[in-house]
Amino acid sequence: MTYTDVFPNELDIHRRAGAALIDVREPDEYAQGHVPGAINLPLSELQGRETEVPDGAVLICASGNRSSQAAAYLAGLGHQKLKNLMGGTFGWTREGRDLVTGDRP
């Protein structure tokens, strides 16, 4: 099983199609700024919570590294159509897009 990398400028397409946005950074990182609409499910807690990630989700972290690890892990368990946000929140902000602060999506 595999996943697909998506660029920040493609994220809105997936969001409009109903994809869940899952930020796999730690809660303090998430609270400092995350992509609007993303929910927090830290990579450190993913094992045992895999069912909380729906097929077709876009996984996000700071740079794309942890989210690609999460996507590969979940795809290996049979999750379908997962996506990894290339460049993560850094790539998102490099394109001039805003982040939301706090612990809510």
Q: Where are the alpha helices (DSSP H) in 2-105?
A: 11-16, 27-32, 43-46, 65-76, 88-94
pTM over cut 0.75: yes
61 is catalytic: yes
Q: Which domains does the chain have, with CATH numbers?
A: 4-95 (3.40.250.10)
Instruction: List the catalytic residue out of 20, 22, 35, 61.
Output: 61
Q: Using one digit for the tens of pLDDT, what is the confidence trace for 43-60?
A: 999 999 999 999 999 999
At 49, list the tokens.
């919570």
Q: Using one digit for the tens of pLDDT, what is the confidence trace for 67-90?
A: 999 999 999 999 999 999 999 999
Amino acid found at 38 = A
